[in-house]
Amino acid sequence: MKKLAPAVIGLLVLGFLPAAAEAAISARFSLGGGVLRSGDLADGIRGYNDLSASFYGSALQGQFKAPGFGLEPSAEVIIPLGTHWGIGLGAGYSAHSRASEMSYALADASVRESLTAGISSVPIELNLHFFFPVSERITIDAWAGPSYNMLRMSWDYRMTVDLEGQSGTDHFEFKSTRNALGGQAGVGIAFKLSEAFDLTAEVCGRFVAPGATSGDWTETGSGDFWAINDSGTATVWVFDLLYSGNTYRQLSFQESKPSGANVNAAEEAKIGASTFGFRIGFRIRLPFPRSGSRD
C-alpha cells in the first residue's frame, strides 16, 4: 500500500499532461510569516511560569515564552488541469524560535534562567488548486492537499547562580527530529503584471499531526557550583505537578515516565507544528510567452 500512493499520483500527473500542454506551467515563490500552535510545548512553558510565580512571588522578574511567530518561505510548481484547475507540488520551510529569561533572588543568591525553544519544519506538499478569474488581471486561487513534514525541535536551557562572589552555570540542551503527515489549505489573490508574471498575496494554514518526541540531550556545568558533563537520550513528557494545593502543567526530559506523590496524568508530550499565516510573492508562467514576432 505504501508503494501504491506514489504510483497513483504519478499516473494522475501523466494523465493530465496533455491538458497542461495547452496552458502554461507556473512556478510560485512566496515569503511571509505564521503563528505556531505547539501543543504541549506551550502548555508546559506556561505551567513552568505559573509554578515559578507561585514559588518566588514578587521576587520573580520576567517569564519564559513559547515559540510563536516565525518565517515561512515556500515554492511550488503548478501544472494546469484545464482552465480552472491545477495540481501543485511544493516545498517550504517553517522556523519558529523564541529566547526568553527570568530572574529572581533566593536567600543570598541571585539566579537567572534562560530558555530558547524552537520548532522548525520542512513540508513537502501536494495541492489541488482552483482558479477563479474575477477580472482580466485578478484571479482568486484556492488550494488544499496533504503534506509530509520533517520536523525538528530544540530546547536550550541555562541557569546561572551568583552567590557571595561565586558563580556557576548549568546548561541543558535537547534536540529531536521526527516526521509527520499533515495537510494545508489556503486562498490567495494573483494580480497579473504581464503575460509571464503575477504578484500574489495569500492566507494559509498548515496542520501537522502532533506526536511524541524523543531525542538526544546534553548537560554541562561550569563555575563554582556544577561539575557536570553528561549526555543521553530522552522522551519529552508532560504531567500535572501538585504544589501548595494547585496543579501546574510541566515538561520533563527523561527516559522513563515521570512518577511520584505529586505527579499526576503523566504522558508523552504531543508537540505540535501547525501554523496559520500570511504570505506575499510572485508567480512565473513557464515557458515565458513571446512578446512579439519578427518579420
Q: What's the CA gap between 167 and 184, in Å, rounded?
A: 49
Question: Domain for residue 3, yes or no?
Answer: no
Q: What is the Rg, in whole angstroms, of the alpha carbon atoms belonging to the chain?
A: 25
Q: What is the pLDDT of residue 289?
A: 56
Q: How far is CA 275 from the centre of its chain?
A: 7
Q: What is the pLDDT of residue 228?
A: 87
Domain range for 219 is 26-283
Tens digit of each residue's pLDDT, the chain (295 residues): 444 444 444 444 444 444 444 568 999 999 999 999 999 999 999 999 999 999 999 999 999 999 999 999 999 999 999 889 999 999 999 999 999 999 999 888 899 999 999 999 999 999 999 999 999 999 999 999 999 999 999 999 999 999 988 999 999 999 999 999 999 999 999 999 998 999 999 999 999 988 889 999 999 998 888 888 999 999 999 999 999 999 999 999 999 999 999 999 999 999 999 999 999 999 998 876 555 444 4
Asked if 251 and 269 count as a contact pair (C-beta separation under 8 A), the reply is yes
Question: Domain for residue 18, yes or no?
Answer: no
Q: What's the CA gap between 129 and 122, in Å, rounded?
A: 21
Q: What is the pLDDT of residue 23?
A: 63
Question: Domain for residue 288, yes or no?
Answer: no
Q: State how beta strands 74-80 and 94-106 pair.
A: unpaired
Q: What's the CA gap between 9 and 91, in Å, rounded?
A: 17
Q: What's the CA gap between 240 and 225, in Å, rounded?
A: 30
Which residues are bridge partners to 235 per DSSP?
A: 214, 254
Tell me: cis bond preceding 210? Omega within 30 of 0 counts. Answer: no
Number of domains comprising the chain = 1
**Residues 170, 46, 106, 59, CA torsion sign:** positive
Question: Domain for residue 114, yes or no?
Answer: yes
Q: Cell numbers at residue 72, please?
A: 515561512
Q: How many residues does the chain have?
A: 295
Q: What's the CA gap between 285 and 224, in Å, rounded?
A: 64
Q: What is the pLDDT of residue 224?
A: 82
Q: State how beta strands 61-62 and 166-192 pair.
A: unpaired
The per-residue pLDDT for range 76-115, each reduced to its tens digit, is 999 999 889 999 999 999 999 999 999 999 888 899 999 9
> b/e string for 6-19 if b means 16 or more Cβ within 10 A?
eeeeeeeeeebeee
Question: Domain for residue 5, yes or no?
Answer: no
Which residues are bridge partners to 254 per DSSP?
A: 235
Asked if 160 and 112 count as a contact pair (C-beta separation under 8 A), the reply is yes
Question: Mind giving me the DSSP string for 220-272?
Answer: EEEESS---EEEEEEEEEEEEEEETTEEEEEEEEESSPP-STTEEEEEE--EE
Question: Domain for residue 9, yes or no?
Answer: no
Q: State how beta strands 69-71 and 25-39 pair.
A: antiparallel
- What's the one-letter identity of residue 160? T
Question: Domain for residue 293, yes or no?
Answer: no
Question: Domain for residue 19, yes or no?
Answer: no
Which CATH number do you get for residue 163? Answer: 2.40.160
**pTM of the complete model:** 0.84
- Name the DSSP class of 12: H
Q: What is the pLDDT of residue 293?
A: 44
Q: What is the pLDDT of residue 287?
A: 75
